[in-house]
């Protein structure tokens, strides 16, 4: 395989205690990445978080801690590299463009993050991946790879399927949480994905929120919509409970 999946991780904060959240260094193909892990119990169901084009930051850490309070292990992955954070929107587009051009690397980075979370005690056999914007597109990429996760969730993420790909190998359930007023990812994209998932027989649920623009969940931004954020988060938490803790999660 072009991208080896052996992961070496190193805690560099005072995070030796399992209950403490903190940064985690890990490697893929000789390059260092810096994620964030939090969770209170070994063997807890895992939620893997994929960041947007801004890179892993306070936003993803806040979401990870929110998930930990719900009883999940949460690992916010790093898709750009340790210390490599975009200085502005242009640089962020450049970074995600590199990954859009190398889909195998995108998949390998998510797999490396999963293995890192497993090494910290999370149960990757009882796991869901979720992402925001670019991260949502990356999660759907992982779903199309046939990864054995139980669920794939996108918040205002990219929904188009690259040429030559489909959802024939998708194993888990798909949840799409989208803003009807999103000018970046249109309702035509939304409908197109719905048709693809239905044709491939993929279990899915797709929800839109009226008046919500792109990035409607991003706190303190011009696009933030409190009601859509609250409703989409509540639906997500219910999805996790059903998928990871309910009948479907007890397999």
Query: Cα separation of 244 and 126, whole Å?
Result: 6
Dump pLDDT digits (tens) for 22-79: 999 999 999 999 999 998 778 899 999 999 999 999 999 999 999 999 999 999 999 9
Q: Tell whether the model's pLDDT for residue 246 goes beyond 90.
A: no
224 three-class SS: coil
Dump pLDDT digits (tens) for 68-115: 999 999 999 999 999 999 999 999 999 999 999 999 999 999 999 999
32 three-class SS: strand
In the chain, the domains with their CATH numbers are: 9-250 (3.40.50.1820)
Q: Tell whether the model's pLDDT for residue 14 goes beyond 50.
A: no
User: For 150-161, what is the mean pLDDT?
Assistant: 98
Query: Cα separation of 33 and 243, whole Å?
Result: 29
Dump pLDDT digits (tens) for 165-189: 999 999 999 999 999 999 999 999 9
Residue 161: predicted pLDDT: 98
**Facing residues of 123 across strands?**
45
DSSP line for 151-174: EEEEES---PPPTT--STT--SEE
């Amino acid at each position: 395989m072009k991208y080896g999946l052996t992961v070496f991780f190193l805690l560099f904060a005072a995070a030796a205690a399992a209950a403490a959240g903190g940064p985690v260094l890990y490697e893929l193909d000789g390059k260092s990445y810096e994620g964030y892990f939090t969770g209170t119990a070994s063997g807890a169901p895992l939620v893997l978080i994929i960041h947007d084009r801004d890179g892993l930051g306070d936003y993803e850490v806040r979401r990870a801690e929110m998930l930990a309070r719900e009883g999940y292990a949460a690992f916010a992955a790093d898709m750009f590299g340790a210390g490599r954070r975009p200085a502005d929107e242009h640089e962020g587009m450049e970074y995600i463009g590199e990954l859009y051009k190398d889909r195998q690397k995108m998949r390998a980075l998510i797999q490396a993050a999963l293995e890192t979370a497993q090494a910290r005690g999370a149960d990757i056999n009882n796991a869901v991946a979720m992402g925001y914007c670019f991260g949502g597109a990356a999660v759907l990429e992982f779903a199309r790879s046939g990864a054995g996760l139980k669920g794939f969730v996108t918040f205002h993420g990219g929904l188009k399927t690259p040429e030559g790909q489909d959802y024939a190998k998708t194993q888990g359930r798909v949840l799409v949480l989208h803003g009807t007023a999103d000018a970046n990812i249109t309702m035509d994209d939304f409908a197109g994905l719905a048709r693809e998932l239905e044709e491939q027989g993929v279990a899915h649920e797709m929800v839109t929120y009226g008046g919500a623009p792109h990035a409607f969940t991003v706190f303190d931004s011009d696009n933030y919509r409190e009601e859509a954020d609250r409703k989409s988060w509540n639906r997500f938490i219910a999805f996790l409970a059903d998928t990871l803790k309910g009948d479907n999660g007890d397999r």
